[in-house]
Chain A
Amino acid sequence: MSEGRSSHFILGRLPLSLMLAGVLALVLAVALGTVEIKRFLVAWQGGWTFAVSLSIGALFVLLFASLTGSTWIVAVRRVGESLSMLFPLWAVLAIPILLSAPALYPWADTERAAHDPVLVQRLAFMNLPFFSLRGLAYLGVFFGLALLLRRSSLAGRPTIDRMRFLAGPGMVAFALCATFAAFDWVMSLAGTWYSTIFGIYFFVGAATGALGLWLFLTALLERRGLWGVPVGVEHRHDLAKYLYTLTLFWAHVAFLQFLLIWYAKLPEETFYYAVRSRYGWEWVTGALMVGHLLLPIFLFMGRRAKRSLALGGFFGLWMLLMHALDVWWMTAPSNFPMRRLGAVEILCFLGFGLLAVGGVLRLLGRSPLVPDQDPRLEASLKLRSEP
């Protein structure tokens, strides 16, 4: 049965084609980017942040599931596991960002930072060698946790309890790394701007995107009949409920971050939103409000929408796209107060997105689709939430 499965197009030839298409898109972006190198770099950094955030989001969901001993997620956990195993790929693709940091990050431009009364105070922390070292450490911790979870999932019974014990400290390490990574990689793009809730905003948004992809792929595999075991509406329903909750939580955090800055009205904080409410960015901000909150809130409130194969899968794909928009909104305006959207931006986000989807499908085809060594699998497959 497993041979028949891995020879199926979606898990066999498609992943490699998707990854090749991703590489092609990125190469095209490089070629187009030679015209205006900074524009390309901003787009690349955005695309990279989108991709790495998907892996971070998947890791968050997996750690949380381990911590709470969730049974429902066991049957579909391989999708998120595969997503969280892509950190090495993202580490390699971060090299262009490190090499061109002075063009992207205000603090990395030492000439400029030396004349900025705020940035100059921060140079002891925000300097390229320490930044690179920290980045490596974050990715190391993320990948280490992902690897531990993966090994435990492959080995089964003896390691499940140990993993549950490790998930506690693991979650603490994860939250610290995700917060500081959000500060380093994304928030510091905006120079002196700060928001203490930014780390949570980043990784809740990341979990939304990751779970969106998770739900979409779960639905896709079900549509093609590839699971081979009774994974179906109940698991999708739970994933959709989780995604719906995270969407609400994202909106909660996003709104609170805005409201506090709006109330305090401190110039060193408000410029972040001032930039994002003019010169074309106001449309992106509005699109996020509608597409990342209002639309999904009403469309996917009911259980019938969440349990439908087509609508549920669409919910996942939609939240993945909205997360890409959110990442673009977080990153690009800091360098380009005038909105710019063209082939370079689209190719970079598309390229990184295709790499992520292709990578997940490729890893899915390489191990059993469900963790057959996990003693909780049977209970997970029997999941019912209908009265």
Chain B
Amino acid sequence: MSAPILKRLRQFAPRSPRTLLLAEFPDAKALVAAAGALRGAGVRRFDAHSPWPIEGLGRAMGLGESILPWIVLGVGLSTFLGFLAFMAWASLDYPTVHSGKPVLSIWPLIPAAIEVTWMAAGTAALVGFMALAGLPLYYHLAFRSPRFKRASDDGFFITVEGDDPRFDAEATRALLERHGGRVERLDETSAKGAPRHG
């Protein structure tokens, strides 16, 4: 019964690209330089992978400022106001008198409204981050390269996705190699390498 719903949901799920250029760089400096060059060449659909955060990498990739704060603010504010309105409606629709307090007063509503706001804003931060980052993604073409395992150890990688209509395999490969990258091309026919864990 749930299968059609899942199937329908799956078309919204983030997907791995079908062809990929995977380039490995000797160090963080080369990675940042290559990312900047890719951006300068007009390539948009690429990502960088490194074992640790690298200062300046986000700037070189042209990531800019995230819109996540605005999502969190919007969800938080509307939850705060909406929940206040809901509690006001509940107080008026079923009025009760407690120890001489007014039927409707803003003060006792604030703690509950703030708690709900925190939870909603926190959820918005998590869900918004996942959506913006293209998660959850259980499989990625890069896993087919055995070298890619080292992205969480000592390897510095750039992946350029072939789905981009302006993707030019030869020019991009040449550009990556100019910056010291060891490039390999991956697609669904490539040998499986990585999915052995532990």
Instruction: List the interface of chain A (C-beta within 8 A of B).
Output: 255, 258-259, 262-263, 265, 301-302, 384, 386-387
Contacts and interface: CB of A to CB of B under 8 A. Distances in A.
Given A265-B100, A387-B53, A387-B58, A301 B73 contact: yes
Interface string B49-92: 00001010011000000000100010000000000000000000
B100 A259 contact: no
Contacts of B53: 387
Given A384-B55, A387-B53, A387-B58, A302 B69 contact: yes
B99 A259 contact: no
Interface stretch (B11-19, B24-32, B104-112): B104-112
A386 B59 CA distance: 10
Given A259-B111, A262-B107, A263-B108, A387 B55 contact: yes
Nearest to A256: B111
Interface in B107-128: 107-108, 110-111
Nearest to A262: B107
Contacts of A259: 107-108, 110-111
Contacts of B73: 301
Given A301-B73, A384-B55, A387-B53, A265 B99 contact: yes
Interface of B: 53, 55, 58-59, 69, 73, 99-101, 107-108, 110-111
B16 to A, nearest CB: 26
Contacts of B100: 265
Contacts of B69: 302
Contacts of B108: 259, 262-263
A274 to B, nearest CB: 15
Contacts of A386: 55
Contacts of B101: 265
Contacts of A302: 69
Contact of A258 (B55, B59, B99, B107): B107
A387 B110 CA distance: 36
Given A262-B107, A387-B58, A387-B59, 17 more contacts: A255-B110, A258-B107, A259-B107, A259-B108, A259-B110, A259-B111, A262-B108, A263-B108, A265-B99, A265-B100, A265-B101, A301-B73, A302-B69, A384-B55, A386-B55, A387-B53, A387-B55
Contacts of A301: 73
A296 to B, nearest CB: 15
Contacts of B110: 255, 259
Contacts of B55: 384, 386-387
B150 to A, nearest CB: 23
A12 B108 CA distance: 53
Contacts of B59: 387
A256 to B, nearest CB: 9
A263 B73 CA distance: 30
11 contacts: A255-B110, A259-B110, A259-B111, A262-B107, A262-B108, A263-B108, A265-B99, A265-B100, A301-B73, A384-B55, A387-B59
A364 B101 CA distance: 54
Contacts of A265: 99-101
Nearest to B70: A302
A258 B105 CA distance: 14
A301 B111 CA distance: 21
A255 B111 CA distance: 9
B82 to A, nearest CB: 18
A258 B101 CA distance: 15
A265 B101 CA distance: 9
A386 B64 CA distance: 12
B132 to A, nearest CB: 15
A259 B69 CA distance: 30
A386 B108 CA distance: 40
A258 B111 CA distance: 12
Contacts of B99: 265
A310 to B, nearest CB: 20
A255 B110 CA distance: 9
Nearest to B66: A387
Nearest to A387: B58
A301 B70 CA distance: 11
**Residue from A259, A302, A384, A387 whose CB has the most chain B CB atoms within 10 Å:** A387
B43 to A, nearest CB: 21
A384 B100 CA distance: 55
A38 to B, nearest CB: 34
A261 to B, nearest CB: 10
A313 to B, nearest CB: 23
